[in-house]
Structure 1
Amino acid sequence: MAEYSIWVNGKQHAVNVPEDMPLLWILRDVIGLKGTKFGCGMAQCGACTVHMNDVAIRSCSFPVSAVGENKITTIEGLSEHGDHPLQLAWQKHLVPQCGYCQTGQIMNAAALLKATPRPSEQEVEQAMEGNLCRCGTYNRIKAAILSVSAES
């Protein structure tokens, strides 16, 4: 066990956990932020996507010991009231079906738009291809991302 001080959604949290504990479990079980989901546990599906300094990472395989002073943002920190442009576009384009993967999808899309404010369709497809959706809402996801891009 070791003591870590991590920044999550603009707040500093002191956690006493094993050094190899994945960030996902720190977020969900220690801090109590349930928006980030466990999917595959191997960084393959994207359900656990969060931001570290505005870059999308897979929290299920990222050890807390590697966080350091970096700033972590979860879906709860993306928008205090759930009104981030991507969250609104998700509703407008009826993206969610079961909804399980959606927080990871939105976090990955937000990182994409931060790095590339006006991505092409191909850039959206490439950036999002690592986030799996069992319901198959990929066309709606792409439409939602492109609509936010067009509005900015």
Structure 2
Amino acid sequence: MDFTDMTKDELEAYGRTVGIELDRRLTKSVLIDQLNDHIENAEIELSDELSDPVYTDAEIEEEDFPVTGEDHPLMPPEVQVVPEEPVDPMIAITEEREARRSFHNLTEQHRQAEEKHALAKQRRIDMEVIENESFSQLESIKEALVKAEETWNSSKAML
């Protein structure tokens, strides 16, 4: 690959992608040489790994897995299949009908509870409105009472 057209920054970035950290303080030609050397060495190491696919330390000996009578500890136990009992269609239909009826009843109870909650909420809101209105009336009556008392006191003073 021709790296001569690349800048030092580009060489450094490309070097990171292939697994080498380049020092930009060095000259561009030194960086290119380091990059080429790294790529060649990586290709040689890769070809060495591919040429030797068998690892001797990972070979499995036959005596490691006994065949006669002993079960391997990592093998799962035999799964026993439990035969299904035949189902009476009339019983299944009855159970389904009861489940449907139960679901319908619970749905209706839920709807009624929501309706009851909405009514209670509306009543509470209505009561708050009535309370606020009565409080406003009480305040206006108090103000009128104070004015009436002041008028009465001023009329007493004139006499």
TM (norm. structure 1) is 0.18
Higher share in strand: 1
Question: If each structure's helix is expressed as a fraction of its own residues, which one has the higher value?
Answer: 2
Alignment TM-score, normalising by the size of structure 2: 0.18
